[in-house]
Structure 1
Amino acid sequence: MSYTVIDGSGLPVEAADVYLGHLTATGRSPYTVEAYAHDLRDFFEWTCQRDPDFRCLGLEDLAEFFVWLQRSRPARQPGVYQLPGMPPAVGNTTLVRKRAALAGLYRFHARRDETVPALLGELTGPRPTGRYMPMLVHTRRHGPGPESYSLIRIATAPKVPATVTAGEIRRLIEACASLRGRALPYQAAARGEQ
């Protein structure tokens, strides 16, 4: 199952449709494809307000797109301005995902058509385009190359691990103590006991 991005006139956006079909055909998670479809819908909605040909956009234009994304839905219309100090409508983690969706779109189309610039395509990170990444890729002596840094930076807060409360620790120790000395059925069968 794949997803389709529809433009304002009800027709599929070919650039998005081909890319999403490629993601589905190469075995990407349906949740990733769905999320990228939403991200590309926003992108092509924005391009329709400016220049409908995504191949003509530059890096400065894409920076404006990420500013536009942070506006509330009603403020994303042409001629509507948002007051300074308003909270962003989209969090930074979502912006990072939207940047990855755009990078993939540009990388995919740059391989198919030399008129498409790989604006974000080669700037998504040290990860190759396939699924395999060596476990210790971060320890390479030469470090990440210039392709690993996106020119459109989005600050994200580090994820804070959940803290285990004293009560949860006590319940865990009590559960371990109550199981100690009792052989579970599959352990007894593995040892040949009845």
Structure 2
Amino acid sequence: MFYMERAVSPSTGAVTFVVVDDQSYVIHKEACDFSLHLRARGRSPHTQRSYLPRVGRYLNWCSTRGIDWRTVSLGDLARYKLGLEQSRVRRSQHLLTGKTVNAHLTTVCEFLRFCAAQGRIPREVADRLVEPRFLRYAPRGCQRGEHGEHSMIRARVLKAVFDA
């Protein structure tokens, strides 16, 4: 099973976070590189601290089901989403909110897109996570479509329904 650990550079004292195997304490290479990528993009250590446990949860979910996280199917990710929606918060025993489930899905999609961009997983795995969507009204600053009528974006396929 994987979990997040805080890591401190002995030379600079900079704090980062890594995902390690709980038996061997071996650092998960792709998750570590994802953490460094987040830092390089200017994301705060707090963002790393919230993203990496989600990556670890995804890796654990795949591992316990015998699914290779590198070639996960859309159906597998839909089952992962359902599992998240049925999960309970440890302290309160309430179900995870739609917002929390979406935060997990966003993190997993970012992680898989990062791995695909680095050539560590097949590009098709990341491509199946998004689909083209057309916006009738584009937000301020968004480029208009070729004919100025509609804007196309790539939207995440899997989303949780927000609580009422």
The normalised TM-score by structure 2 is: 0.68
Shift of 1:123: 5.1
Shift of 1:30: 1.9
The 1:13/1:52 distance shift into structure 2, 3 A limit, reads: farther
14, 19, 22: which one aligns with 2:29: 14
* Larger-Rg structure: 1
Shift of 1:111: 1.1
Q: Which residue of 2 aligns with 1:31?
A: 46
Q: Does 1:102 align with 2:108?
A: yes
Normalized per residue, which structure has more helix?
1
The normalised TM-score by structure 1 is: 0.59
Q: Distance between the aligned counterparts of 1:30 and 1:39, measured in 2?
A: 15
Q: Distance between the aligned counterparts of 2:43 and 2:128, measured in 1?
A: 20
Aligned positions, number = 137
Identity of aligned residues (%): 21
Q: Distance between the aligned counterparts of 1:21 and 1:153, measured in 2?
A: 26
State the superposition RMSD in angstroms.
Answer: 3.1
The 1:23/1:124 distance shift into structure 2, 3 A limit, reads: farther
Q: Is the 8 A contact 2:88 2:94 kept in 1?
A: yes
Q: Distance between the aligned counterparts of 1:110 and 1:93, measured in 2?
A: 26
Q: Is the 8 A contact 1:24 1:30 kept in 2?
A: yes
Q: Which residue of 2 aligns with 1:137?
A: 142
Q: Is the 8 A contact 2:81 2:160 kept in 1?
A: no
| Partner AA of 1:142 in structure 2 | H
Shift of 1:107: 0.9
1:41-60 equivalences in 2 (<5 Å): 41-51=56-66, 53-60=68-75
Q: Does 1:72 align with 2:88?
A: yes
Higher relative contact order (CA 8 A, sep 6+): 2
Shift of 1:89: 2.7
Which ranges of 4 or more aligned residues in structure 1 deviate by more than 3 Å?
119-126, 138-141
Shift of 1:124: 10
Q: Is the 8 A contact 2:116 2:126 kept in 1?
A: yes
Q: Is the 8 A contact 1:103 1:119 kept in 2?
A: no
The 1:4/1:103 distance shift into structure 2, 3 A limit, reads: same
Once the two structures are overlaid, the 10-residue window that deviates more, 104-113 or 43-52, is: 43-52
